[in-house]
Amino acid sequence: MKIAQSKAENLNNWFNEIQEFQLDSYFDSVVLGRAYDYVSKVEIIKSLENTITCQIPGINKYDIEIKMVGNEVIGNCSCPHNQKCKHLAAVILYQMDIKY
């Protein structure tokens, strides 16, 4: 699912360039608010220039992948929500080095 358009050269640059306030335009405010509780739980599985694969444990362990395809940032999560979820937002916050 598309998260954002980007002019960044790669996913790592996008994480470095994005500002926290911009996430309000990518995620519902309730979802984004819940994501902060999950930032410290993010487990990086694999991080490449244009793809990051993570897990977030909880009652269930969810697999999250965020990648850059062309000029789009695409995210997928194995949780049952069929939309931009708190897990995707938590991984972005983690990569932005936002700690709460």
Per-domain residue ranges of the chain:
2-95
Give the Cα separation of 61 and 59 in Å (integer). Answer: 7
pLDDT exceeds cutoff 80 at 66: yes
- Average the pLDDT over 10-20 and give the result: 93
Q: Strand 72-77 relative to strand 51-56: parallel, antiparallel, unpaired?
A: unpaired
> The tokens of 60 are what?
């269930």
pLDDT exceeds cutoff 60 at 100: no
Written as one letter, the residue type at 55 is: Q
pTM of the model: 0.93
pLDDT exceeds cutoff 90 at 11: yes
